[in-house]
């Protein structure tokens, strides 16, 4: 596994991946920082495209990411995570809406749990999921970072 760090408006990010693609984006200043494992190698070269796209995103020049991703999760988690990628930039969905989109309308809590386990936040935009009443709910990087990301994308959350 290889990794590199990136300074961003939401603090330092740790990018982790291998030949399959990006596996993790960790908020180093968040509630659960990712720490490099002893067998990982620091090497920024495999992350050049990811770093460039994240910088463009934070500068407001990128609304979608085009990167090889290789998250590790259950079939259900992967379905939730791939569906998260369809939430348009600047929009938000409720957990219930996300559950309906994966054709599991009664699984809002399970969707919330899968959303919370997303290993590639920002790029897989789990920050775009909010409570049914419009409230900002859990986020691995913390609610302050979630608010910053939503404001960067256009401010006011909107529900379907």
Residues recognised as catalytic: 126
Question: Would you say 34 and 69 are in contact if contact means Cβ atoms under 8 Å apart?
Answer: no
User: Cα separation of 25 and 15, whole Å?
Assistant: 5
- Cβ contact 18:1 at 8 Å: yes
For residue 6, what are the CA distances in angstroms to 12, 26, 54, 105, 123? Answer: 6, 10, 9, 37, 14
> How far is Cα of residue 118 from the mean position of the Cα atoms in its chain?
6
């Amino acid at each position: 596994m290889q990794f590199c760090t990136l300074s961003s408006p939401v603090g330092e990010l740790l990018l982790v991946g291998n030949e399959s693609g990006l596996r993790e984006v960790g908020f180093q200043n968040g509630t659960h920082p990712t720490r490099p494992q002893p067998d990982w190698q620091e090497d920024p070269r495999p992350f050049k495209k990811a770093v460039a796209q994240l910088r463009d995103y934070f500068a407001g020049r990128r609304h979608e990411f085009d990167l090889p991703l290789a998250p590790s999760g259950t079939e259900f988690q992967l379905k939730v995570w791939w569906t998260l990628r369809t939430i348009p930039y600047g929009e938000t969905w409720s957990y219930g809406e996300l559950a309906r989109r994966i054709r599991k309308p009664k699984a809002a809590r399970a969707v919330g749990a899968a959303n919370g386990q997303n290993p590639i936040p920002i790029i897989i935009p789990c920050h775009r999921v909010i409570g049914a009443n419009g409230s900002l709910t859990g986020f691995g990087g913390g609610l302050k970072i979630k608010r910053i990301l939503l404001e960067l994308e256009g401010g006011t959350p909107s529900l379907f």
